[in-house]
Amino acid sequence: MTFANQKFNVGDLIHVQQTLKEGEKERSQLFEGKIIAVRGRAPNTTFTVRKIGADNIGVERIFPLFSPTIAKIVLKKAMPGRRAKLYYLRKK
């Protein structure tokens, strides 16, 4: 999957910067975690990112790849993925 000339796959550690509107103000929110799933094709592509939050609670977010709210996606660490979905990480 490509985004702004970057390739990332399931298993990679990424950093997603998203701009949010709250009333009149705009702010950017960061979310960093592993990609555990990619779904869809072309304009409907979504990817699920999972991170371990406070008190060892898993947090997952689903991002549309071609969303106008996503400002930047940075690939932090590429991992060799051997599966299409990494749902087994939810149990660890």
Tokens matching residue 80: 């060799």
pLDDT on residue 80: 82
Would the pLDDT of 87 be above 60? yes
Binned at pLDDT 50, 70 and 90, residue 3 comes out as low
Boundaries of every domain in the chain: 2-77
User: What CATH code would you report for 2-77?
Assistant: 2.30.30.790
Query: CB pairs under 8 A, 24+ apart, for 52-60?
Result: 58/90, 59/33, 60/36
CA of residue 14 relative to chain centroid, distance: 6
pLDDT digits (tens, 9 = 90+) for 9-63: 999 999 999 999 999 999 999 999 999 999 998 889 999 999 999 999 999 999 9
pLDDT digits (tens, 9 = 90+) for 63-82: 999 999 999 999 999 988 78
Tokens matching residue 14: 């990424």
At residue 37, what are phi and psi to the nearest 5 degrees? -160, 150
The pTM of the whole model exceeds 0.95: no
